[in-house]
Structure 1
Amino acid sequence: MRKEYLIYKLSDEVKNSCKIPREAFTKYGVKRGLRNEDGTGVLVGLTNIGNVVGYERNDDGSLRPCPGRLYYRGYELDDLVSPLLKEKRFGFEEIAYLLLSGNLPDEEELTAFRELINENMPLDHRTIVHIIDLEGSNIMNILARCVLEMYTFDPNPDDISRDNLMRQSIELIAKFPTIIAYAYNIYRHSMQGSSLNIRHPRENMTIAENFLYMLKDEDFTELDARMLDLLLIIQAEHGGGNNSTFTVRVTSSTRTDTYSSIAAGIGSLKGPLHGGANIKAINMFHHLKEQISDWTNIDEIDTYLNRMLNKEAYDKTGLVYGIGHAVYTMSDPRAVELKKLAGELAKEKGMVKEYNFLKLIEQEGVKCVSAFRKTTKPICANLDFYSGFIYEMIGLPQEIYTPIFAMARIVGWTAHRIEELNFEGRRIIRPAYKNILEQKSYVPIKDR
């Protein structure tokens, strides 16, 4: 039997072996996707880190939509972001300190923490050689492989004591920007014929500034760097139930090493239904700019969005990317913050017309999707709707959109890993799957 045919035959047999009737999930009370019937997540753990609020419960247990709120260690996101915008200062390191420790740092602690981050940003020369060897690969995969390689350079990689976990966490937070910047520069050199530049991080720069410097040299403004800093803050944490953070907690519950657990989280975030969604949203925006002649004509916008929903236009998936969220109903607080940032940046970049068009797509997209689905549950734009637009205005390529998400979320991942390994009563996470296949009698190979 030819090997190619055998692969096809095995694949074809999967059609039957994977069949599970939808009604079986209801019969056995299975929460598909760990979701309740009302769409809420199944409660599987407790945390002191992040809190995602998209609805409230009535006395009868039914859901009541509410404006979305996101809390980091008990502080509402807007209360953390607004002072940074007002004071025009960088804050990602401050938020990283908060998420890791549970407390906001004072000036002395913040200065020391920033110095510690800067000390750990340079890469081992062996990691740089490894990135060069992987030229042309997907940058999320390079990131995962570099994280796994860090295990071999760690003098104490399997120690899960608090002190060692914190040391590893700080090193990962510090090194993610460098790995991503170097990986993209090497990708651009090998795939696009650009000059290869490897710039060492500078001691007097923040994470956001250093990342842009390593990526683009001096080709960025202060506002670019502050916008990236705020984007990192907004994406740093989103509760324990999002797929990648849950992946980190599940793997951490086995007491595996930090690098294996974080690599698993990277693999989860890479998926287009998770961290890769911002690329879908910005590509859709480019398509709409070309297809809609009058960016202020609501009727023209509605007509085309309805064609998309009916699978007649764009990629014919029936989706309007960036509209809707699993938890948030009336609003996604991250999208609310990003909308403000996008407006400020659009003025500097001369892209106010594009920004106003994007806001109109959000407005009409929410309306059209709600009408198409015939739902009374409020629908809102999510994080991905504006993030790609901001990345583009800063001048960042799509190849690093999802890696930047990882660069932010590594803070939340490490905070959750530390919590998973340090709360009382911890157990390995081990849910159940019910087998519904009837038992079979063994048939000797000569009789098959």
Structure 2
Amino acid sequence: MNHLLFDFLDKHADMYEGKDAINPELYDLYKVKRGLRDKNGNGVVAGLTTISTIEAFDISGDQKVPCDGRLYYRGYDVRELVSGTVREKRFGFEEAAYLLMFGCLPDRRELKQFCDVLGSMRTLPTNFVRDVIMKAPSRDIMNSLMKSILTLASYDSRVNDLSEVNVLRQCMMLISEVPMMAVYGYHAYNHYECEESMYIHRPSPELSTAENILMMLRPDKKYTELEARVLDVALMLHMEHGGGNNSTFTTHVVTSSGSDTYSVMAAALASLKGPKHGGANIKVMEMMDDLRANVSDTKDEDEIRNYLDQLVDKQAFDKKGLIYGMGHAVYSLSDPRAVVFKSFVESLAKEKGRMDDYHLYTTIERLAPEVIAEKRKIYKGVSANVDFYSGFVYSMLGIPVELYTPIFAMARVVGWSAHRMEELVNADKIIRPAYKSVAEKRIYQPIDKRQERELAGGNYRKIEEK
């Protein structure tokens, strides 16, 4: 431990208290859209895309009327994409990935070729698992994943080649390899930090992405067809969600600087891991654990409503005033991903004997919007988002909490890849929004003329110059 450093930080701590605070009124004065959103939550339009479409309102004359949410991949309703593959008893992740990457639905021959290519790329450089993934394992698998992806760049002789065909190669490789690196990263952590057994199963080129994830994760490699299909649906629903979400916008920003694919994907992962983005499903699970610990009868709706009241009043759980998994930055009446997912959640809950938990979730889904509407001034409807159910599904699949956000990343790397290609093809300027400076001008003082400060124990006071 560097005592000199910690002593310095302790003595200077108060210097940072309020140092960077900006008067909120100045944002209105200069018409700054905080979070690149207006007061109604609408995002500032920063670009154009053909990759996906999100609809939360219908236009009636001059009025925006809230509607059930709709999500389209390259113009296709995601509900139809999911129901089509389920109806035909096929895994859909690879088909949806082809659609996002190439702009059209594949025929049987094209889909088989695409799956064969992805299968052939499910491999890592010699000794990569030993020398990179198993070294310095961490419970934070997202950080481990970033490290692995950045290290992969050193194995690529064409790392900085921004030609479309080369970037496409790199993206397809990462779509294949990210699930491996994430699962292996968890096994390394579980072995070295938790002192459990180590399992490194090689992926099978014949299996789907969802099947390979479950096979690599489990000691006995076994899984049911329903388990694989539910995970496949989860991957489909998480793979893309417009250009404005934080991690995808990060993809556009870093791509616009001319950076390489590995750096772009690592930056997107850094964005996704935040609890306000891809880490939200973990907060839902933690909230549910707290509910069970504080509600004596989880079938009593009055008790549940009282707990939700306490959440919104900042008296329960993390005291942030949030019911996690409820509400979305864009959707109003419903999140189509949550609607699609819910039917599969029920099927899996029946197979796993978790129907009491399922009914608890559906009760909260019904009560939470009422509680929020009573206590908050809201500009649009509040409904369950996809994160509300995804953590519950992962728990039923036996997926450890450490992999919840990495599962999101395994899917979203497809959307990031499509947006990276779109940015490279269409944009010729670095993304560079403006920040209005509200700092006061000051006169430079020679060091012997500056005010002295007495610093101690995290406190300081100015000693006025005599």
Name the TM-score, length of structure 1 as normaliser: 0.96
Partner of 1:443, secondary structure, is coil
Q: In the aligned structure 2, how far is the partner of 1:84 from the partner of 1:282? A: 29
Partner of 1:199, secondary structure, is coil
Indicate which of 204, 213, 216 corresponds to 1:211: 213
Indicate which of 301, 309, 312 corresponds to 2:304: 301
CA contact (8 A) 1:137 1:187 kept: yes
1:253 aligns with 2:253: no
Moved more, 183-192 or 66-75: 183-192
- What is the CA distance between 1:376 and its match in structure 2? 6.2
Distance change (3 Å), C-alpha of 1:10 and 1:435: farther
Which stretches of structure 1, 4 residues or longer, exceed 4 Å deviation after superposition?
none
CA contact (8 A) 1:184 1:400 kept: yes
Moved more, 190-199 or 336-345: 190-199
Distance change (3 Å), C-alpha of 1:314 and 1:210: same
Q: In the aligned structure 2, how far is the partner of 1:446 from the partner of 1:352? A: 72
CA contact (8 A) 1:50 1:72 kept: yes
The equivalent of 1:103 in structure 2 is: 104
The equivalent of 2:412 in structure 1 is: 409
- What is the CA distance between 1:6 and its match in structure 2? 2.8
- What is the CA distance between 1:225 and its match in structure 2? 0.8
The equivalent of 1:383 in structure 2 is: 386
State the Cα deviation string for residues 385-425 of structure 1 (Å, max 9, x = none). 000000011110100000010000000001000000001x5
Q: In the aligned structure 2, how far is the partner of 1:147 from the partner of 1:81? A: 30
The equivalent of 1:230 in structure 2 is: 233
The equivalent of 2:151 in structure 1 is: 149
The equivalent of 1:262 in structure 2 is: 265
**Where does the alignment leave 5 or more consecutive residues of structure 1 unmatched?**
none
Q: In the aligned structure 2, how far is the partner of 1:9 from the partner of 1:271? A: 29
Count of aligned positions? 446
The equivalent of 1:310 in structure 2 is: 313
The equivalent of 1:124 in structure 2 is: 125
- After superposition, where does 1:190-205 map in structure 2 within 5 Å? 190-205=192-207
- What is the CA distance between 1:113 and its match in structure 2? 0.6
Provide the identity percentage: 46
Partner of 2:193, secondary structure, is helix
Partner of 1:71, secondary structure, is strand
Q: In the aligned structure 2, how far is the partner of 1:259 from the partner of 1:376? A: 39
The equivalent of 1:398 in structure 2 is: 401
State the Cα deviation string for residues 187-235 of structure 1 (Å, max 9, x = none). 1111222211111111211111111111114232111111111100000
Indicate which of 339, 346, 351 corresponds to 1:348: 351
Q: In the aligned structure 2, how far is the partner of 1:34 from the partner of 1:376? A: 17
Q: In the aligned structure 2, how far is the partner of 1:3 from the partner of 1:402? A: 33
| 2:78 partner amino acid | L
| 1:158 partner amino acid | N
CA contact (8 A) 1:147 1:259 kept: yes
1:429 aligns with 2:421: no
Q: In the aligned structure 2, how far is the partner of 1:353 from the partner of 1:13? A: 51
| 2:217 partner amino acid | L
1:48 aligns with 2:50: yes
1:446 aligns with 2:448: yes
CA contact (8 A) 2:335 2:383 kept: yes
The equivalent of 2:68 in structure 1 is: 67
CA contact (8 A) 2:138 2:144 kept: no
Partner of 1:65, secondary structure, is strand
Q: In the aligned structure 1, how far is the partner of 2:368 from the partner of 2:139? A: 35
Indicate which of 138, 157, 163 corresponds to 2:165: 163
State the Cα deviation string for residues 4-41 of structure 1 (Å, max 9, x = none). 34323443222243021000001011110000121100
Q: In the aligned structure 2, how far is the partner of 1:272 from the partner of 1:376? A: 23
Q: In the aligned structure 2, how far is the partner of 1:65 from the partner of 1:311? A: 28
State the Cα deviation string for residues 301-320 of structure 1 (Å, max 9, x = none). 11121122222222222211
Partner of 1:66, secondary structure, is strand
CA contact (8 A) 1:168 1:258 kept: yes
CA contact (8 A) 1:136 1:190 kept: no
The equivalent of 1:39 in structure 2 is: 41
State the Cα deviation string for residues 127-181 of structure 1 (Å, max 9, x = none). 2121111223511011001111111111211111110011001000000111011
| 2:412 partner amino acid | R
The equivalent of 2:275 in structure 1 is: 272
Q: In the aligned structure 1, how far is the partner of 2:90 from the partner of 2:293? A: 37
Distance change (3 Å), C-alpha of 1:295 and 1:257: same
The equivalent of 1:112 in structure 2 is: 113
Moved more, 307-316 or 414-423: 307-316
Partner of 1:314, secondary structure, is coil
CA contact (8 A) 1:55 1:327 kept: no
Q: In the aligned structure 2, how far is the partner of 1:98 from the partner of 1:426? A: 25
* RMSD, aligned α-carbons: 1.6
| 1:79 partner amino acid | E
CA contact (8 A) 1:123 1:175 kept: yes
| 2:324 partner amino acid | Y
Moved more, 215-224 or 42-51: 215-224
Moved more, 438-447 or 10-19: 10-19
Q: In the aligned structure 1, how far is the partner of 2:200 from the partner of 2:5? A: 44
The equivalent of 1:76 in structure 2 is: 77
Q: In the aligned structure 2, how far is the partner of 1:91 from the partner of 1:394? A: 18
CA contact (8 A) 1:269 1:275 kept: yes
